[in-house]
């Protein structure tokens, strides 16, 4: 089993929106503007979760293939 570090960064922009960045092992895997509306934030959280899970699955497959080669 592999462990992953996850970092979520919020970049504050003056006005009514911010930028959210999600990193897995210091690799940016998701970035979006975020507006202060609950339904919108919930939708973007689901998008980020899906993107992170896909990245981890693909990375895990890659690491497994590398172990088989070695």
pLDDT at 40 over 80: yes
pLDDT band at 19 (very low <50, low <70, confident <90, very high): very high
Residue 62 placed within a domain: yes
pLDDT at 44 over 70: yes
Distances (CA, A) of 57 to 13, 15, 38, 50, 61: 32, 36, 29, 11, 6
The residue that leads in pLDDT, 35 or 65, is 35
Total tally of structural domains belonging to the chain: 1
Long-range contacts of 52-61 (CB under 8 A, 24+ apart): 52/6, 52/22, 52/24, 55/24, 55/27, 55/29, 56/4, 56/24, 59/2, 59/4, 59/24, 60/2
Residue 26 placed within a domain: yes
Range of the domain at 13: 6-69
Residue 22 placed within a domain: yes
Mean pLDDT of the chain: 90
Residue 53 placed within a domain: yes
pLDDT band at 28 (very low <50, low <70, confident <90, very high): very high
């Amino acid at each position: 089993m592999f462990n992953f570090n996850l970092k979520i960064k919020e970049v504050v922009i003056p006005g009514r929106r911010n930028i959210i960045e999600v990193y897995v092992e210091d690799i940016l895997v998701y970035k979006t503007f975020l507006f202060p509306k609950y339904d919108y934030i919930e939708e973007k959280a689901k998008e980020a979760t899906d993107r992170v899970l896909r990245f981890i699955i693909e990375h895990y497959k890659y690491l497994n293939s590398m172990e088989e080669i070695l």
